[in-house]
Copies of this chain bind each other. A is one copy, B any other.
Amino acid sequence: MNRFVTCLFLLFSTATFSQSSDSLIIRKFYEESFVNGKTYHWLGEICSTIGPRVSGSPQAEMAVNYLKKELDQLSLDSVYLQDVMVPHWVRGKKESAFIVNGKEKKAVNICALGGSIATPNGGLKAGIVEVHNFDELKALGKENVHGKIVFMNHPMKPEFINTFEAYGEAAGFRWSTAMKAGALGAAGVVVRSMTLSMDDYPHTGAMGYSDTIPKIPACAISTIGAEALSKALKENKNLQFYFQQSSAILPDTLSHNVIGEIRGAEFPNEIIVVGGHVDAWDLGQGAHDDGAGMVESMEVLRLFKRLNIHPKRTIRFVGFMNEENGGKGGEMYAKQAKLRGEKTIAAIESDEGGFTPRGFSFNGDSLQSEFVKKNRSLFMSYGLSKWEKGYGGSDINHLGDQGTLLIGFIPDSQRYFEVHHAATDTFDKVSRRELEMSAASIASLVYMLSEYGVK
């Protein structure tokens, strides 16, 4: 497009705004984030210098230390680490897998699912049976599953508008297939990757075991690999599958939540938490999941300091550890808050990627609250039109029984599962503008909460 001579665009940002001081302050958050924002710099360091940071890994602790160092430079009222013991799973050496059709071997791309045990030394080779859901698995029964590898080929459904609905519909197959197949005597599990893209990247993610069911190794296969395997099975249902992974569960490890806060000028005991998670799966760089949410949340504090805004209520950044495979950081944070008798009036989590901002979801009946009714229109001017009843986030969810308003930040969902938990989740997939706009959006909501509380 080449239009500029007659630039008739509605200048919505200036035209529809009242001249109230609140709207002017919100405008400043956006301007400062776009002009001098630190999110993109911080994310670059976390992704490119530190890289992937599974709970318990050296990189996870490097990230903790880096975040603390950066927070220390913001002249906050306090910055500290909070101890938390976390699971420590390691992937081991790169996995390999083949469709074995007589003497023919076709390599496919897999990765161990997070939390999975290894295959036996030398790998696992067995017959393979394809199913698309748990009903089909059950119908096969022990006689058809015992000793075999179960291939759970359940695609995410493209017809959902919100891609998180498609994920919600499909991700249980990643979590539970090893248990369901293990109970039938299966030797291993291959799960189709949770993505709407047709590409050759396997997507990892947490899977579960039960103490009462034999543990079997589980991996994810790329969507291209899943299609190839399904096609090969249609041609020869007696073919074999081979995969090798050397993942292991090590003893729990001491790690940390990272915390920094600005004390409220009028109501210091009323706390607003804003955060994302520090840990990230190891295949990519954890750029969208959840480096983005973490740096957006830190930027909230920087924006208040830089603009010299003294919030009425306390604003506390929390970088949660271990969201991906245990949630121990969120659990510990809520436990300590309760022990100290803190009053957390609201908590905002950003953990759906660093995409262009769309709105917020509020738990319970809070969508009817005066706060939401009063403030919604202020944010419409920035395209934040979604104010929905919904989930806050898995880290802040532990605060749910402390009377806290739980708020999830909603970025646009269309691109998230292109990169989620895969090697593609890298810094270059993040748009600087989208990240900066998200940070300003969250800061604006935090400001309104800090000025007026949740009523």
- Are A4 and B434 in contact (CB-based, < 8 A)? no
Select which of B159, B325, B431 is within 8 A of A414 by beta carbon: B431
Cβ B171 vs Cβ A9 within 8 A: no
> Could you pull out 25 A-B pairs where Cβ atoms are within 8 angstroms?
A1-B289, A1-B290, A1-B323, A2-B206, A2-B323, A2-B324, A2-B394, A4-B168, A4-B175, A6-B391, A7-B165, A7-B167, A8-B391, A9-B165, A9-B361, A10-B388, A12-B161, A12-B162, A30-B159, A35-B158, A158-B433, A161-B382, A197-B432, A356-B412, A418-B433
In the bound complex, residues from chain B placing their C-beta under 8 Å from that of A434 are 414-415
Report the minimal beta-carbon distance from A419 to chain B, rounded to whole angstroms.
10
CB neighbors of B among A223-267 (8 A): none
A interface bracket (residues with beta carbon within 8 Å of B): 35 or more
Q: Does A76 contact B (CB under 8 A)?
A: no
Question: A351 an interface residue at 8 Å Cβ cutoff?
Answer: yes
Nearest chain B CB to A281 CB, angstrom units: 9
* Chain A, range 11-69, C-beta contacts under 8 Å to B: 11-13, 30-31, 34-35
| Contact between B161 and A351, CB atoms less than 8 A apart | no
Q: Are A162 and B9 within 8 A (Cβ)?
A: yes
Specify which of B171, B206, B418, B433 is in contact with A431 (CB 8 Å cutoff).
Answer: B418
**A177: shortest Cβ distance to chain B, in Å?**
13
In the bound complex, what is the Cα–Cα distance between A192 and B178 (angstroms)? 57
In the complex the two chains form, what is the Cα distance from A8 to B167 in whole Å? 12
CB distance from A322 to the nearest CB of B (A): 10
Residue A196 is within 8 A (CB to CB) of chain B in the complex: yes
A393 adjacent to chain B (CB < 8 Å): yes
For A3, A325, A380, A388, the residue with the greatest tally of chain B CB atoms inside 10 Å of its CB is A3
Q: Answer whether residue A375 sits at the interface, using C-beta atoms and an 8 A cutoff.
A: no
A282 at the interface (CB under 8 A from B): no
CA distance A11 to B169 in the complex (A): 12
**A383 sits at the interface (CB 8 A):** yes
A4 and B171 in contact (CB under 8 A), knowing A159-B35, A356-B412? yes
Which residue from B1, B175, B356, B414 sits with its C-beta under 8 Å from A394? B1
With the chains together, A420 CA to B3 CA distance in Å?
Answer: 12
Q: Is A205 an interface residue (CB 8 A)?
A: yes
Chain B residues lying within 8 Å of A289, measured Cβ to Cβ, are 1
| Residue A358 CB within 8 A of the other chain | yes
**Which residues of chain B are within 8 angstroms of A31 by Cβ–Cβ distance?**
159
Cα-based distance from A5 to B176 in the complex (angstroms): 11
**Can you name 13 extra interface pairs (CB under 8 A) apart from A1-B352, A1-B394?**
A2-B323, A3-B351, A3-B394, A4-B171, A5-B172, A7-B167, A9-B162, A12-B161, A31-B159, A34-B159, A35-B158, A163-B433, A196-B432
Residues of B within 8 A of A431 (CB): 414-415, 418
Report how far A363 CA is from B30 CA in the complex, Å.
28
Q: Which residue of B lies closest to A276 (CB)?
A: B1
What's the Cα separation between A434 and B418 when bound, in Å? 12
> How far is B261's CA from A160's CA once the two chains are assembled, in angstroms?
29
